[in-house]
Structure 1
Amino acid sequence: MPRPRTVLLTGAAGGLGTLMRGLLPAYGYELRLLDVLPIPDEPAAITADLADKDALRAAVHGVDAVLHLAGISLEASFDKILRANIEGTYNLYEAARAEGVRRIVFASSNHAVGFTPRPMGTDPLIPVATPHRPDTFYGLSKAFGEDLAQFYWDKHGLETVSVRIGSCFAEPTSVRMLSVWMSPDDGARLFDAALTAERVGHTVVYGSSANTRLWWDLASARALGYEPRDDSEPYAEKLLAEQGELDPERPEHACLGGHFTTDPPIWPH
């Protein structure tokens, strides 16, 4: 696929969106920003809700691709998740289809498969083909988004890379995150690969750095051209001293989704 020039970045005021606003222009992208909240110092940013179909249609008009990061990123009531993450994602796909956008990169989540047991000992890495096992309404919305992406590829030829993001922060903050952390720089590398790889159809990938304690298989991400350069291991000694090793007898330590499976953080936080 020719390198997209103009990319609509939804959720541009959020934590991950803010990181990508700073990193992706270096790859040659002209970002068109959209968020439900105004973005300071970005007067050209579009302030719109995902429920506003006319605003979405205008936002995607003329762009080459969409990086869809918008929506609720923690647990919430089903009604809130339905409106923001399920109906909102559908509205975006419909707008993209109507405007002839060729590719969407969808921020899925490891919580779409959160009740999957995490690897222990010599267990194999978790494959992208593992069945959906959402751990929350939030995770359920991400499973829906992946299925929606597959449908729009099969029905309309709109390509998507669904990225099951782990945790993208400047550094990991928990022992669990040592296994699922994605550095901001690696996040930009992965999104760039997802935006530019040839003939992706609908491809699901895990989004993390090349962590020593990795739980999932990055093969499908690497097949896009993603070359992670970072590893959470330099942070391990400090975090393990503070928090100890994960205990497989504790439910929140036994599954991929961590404490989302037992006591998920509630939006807004």
Structure 2
Amino acid sequence: MTEQRILITGAAGKVGTQLRPRMARAGRKLRLLDLRQPLPLAELPDGAGVEAADEEVVIGSVSDTALMAEACKGMDALIHLGGLSGESTMDKVIDVNIRGTLLALEAARDAGVPRVILASSNHAVGFTPRTDVPVPADTEPCPDTYYGLSKVAMDAAGRMFADRYGMDVLSLHIGSWFPKPRDLRALATWLSPDDGARLVEACLAVESPGYRVLWGISRNTRRWFSLAEGEAIGYHPVDDAEDYAAELIAEHGEPDFDADRELVRVGGKWCYTELGGA
């Protein structure tokens, strides 16, 4: 069996930490790239009992052209999680999220990496009214922040590399990828760690997808986003944020979708935060 070789940028971050133990398997080599040393697999929250994975670590930034070029060599796929995970100044967002994504795509193209999975975000369409649900994956961009704008740029860059160079690029509009939903909005937007891994595996397995935009959410009873595009490539989530509804409602009260401004638009409170913050 041919070994599958996958580069994961941002591997020491929150999503990368949840993904790694779920991707470890025989016949697969993971190359982990981050600014800091990732924890050993056995020390991760979900790493106990996972068979030893074939992993190697590259320390550095996605904005380092030479490092990215070297890291992409010999890889079958790139999972690009690296970058800022929240709002920042315009200059930082442009440098890390937009320039970093372009460098990652360029490095993958130059190294002959045939498939790239991009960690985009619901904030690329944050100002979409919740009344328009289910929101299709290809809905019109309407970013809610500089961060959201950088994800629109990420989607566009992925589309260009797919169309121009024939690469397979799948852009994931991730909802709320956490171990458990943290607020009332997450009852609609949650992506469980297990479903997140199912989505990534579907992206790796589907034949000749070309360019795709997919929602990264679980099978939530109250979901706002379409699952049809994911199901078309074999993503069939099983978890449901409704399992946590009683606990969240006890803490925050019943959701008021007409009065609570954080539930009016799909970007939630991000639609009302000041741009250029920390």
- If the length of structure 1 is used for normalisation, what is the TM-score? 0.93
Amino acid at match of 2:107: A
Q: Distance in 1 between matches of 2:14 and 2:6?
A: 18
Corresponding residue to 2:223 among 202, 211, 214? 214
Corresponding residue to 2:99 among 66, 87, 94? 87
Cα shift readout 1:85-136 (whole Å, capped 9, x = no counterpart): 00000000110110111000000000000000113xxx64111121000000
5+ long unaligned stretches in structure 2: 42-54
Aligned to 1:259: 269
Aligned to 1:20: 19
How far off its partner does 1:28 sit? 5.1
Amino acid at match of 1:34: L
Q: Distance in 2 between matches of 1:210 and 1:87?
A: 33
Alignment of 1:118-197 (within 5 A): 118-119=130-131, 124-197=133-206
Amino acid at match of 1:259: K
Q: Distance in 2 between matches of 1:249 and 1:167?
A: 22
Q: Distance in 2 between matches of 1:4 and 1:125?
A: 39
Cα shift readout 1:18-70 (whole Å, capped 9, x = no counterpart): 11111111485321000012224489410111221110000000000001101
Distance 1:132 1:75, change over 3 A: same
Amino acid at match of 2:237: P
Distance 1:265 1:78, change over 3 A: closer
Aligned to 2:232: 223
5+ long unaligned stretches in structure 1: none
Corresponding residue to 1:204 among 205, 213, 224? 213
Aligned to 1:56: 68
Q: Distance in 1 between matches of 2:172 and 2:3?
A: 18
Q: Is the 8 A contact 2:215 2:230 kept in 1?
A: yes
SS of 1:106 mapped into structure 2: strand
Distance 1:25 1:178, change over 3 A: same
Amino acid at match of 1:15: K
How far off its partner does 1:3 sit? 9.0
Q: Distance in 1 between matches of 2:21 and 2:277?
A: 25
Distance 1:266 1:209, change over 3 A: farther
Amino acid at match of 1:194: C
Q: Is the 8 A contact 1:72 1:267 kept in 2?
A: no
Q: Distance in 1 between matches of 2:209 and 2:227?
A: 15
Cα shift readout 1:128-158 (whole Å, capped 9, x = no counterpart): 1210000000000000000000000111111
Report how many residues are paired. 264
- Quote the RMSD (CA, aligned, Å): 2.0
Q: Distance in 1 between matches of 2:274 and 2:180?
A: 21
Q: Is the 8 A contact 2:80 2:119 kept in 1?
A: yes
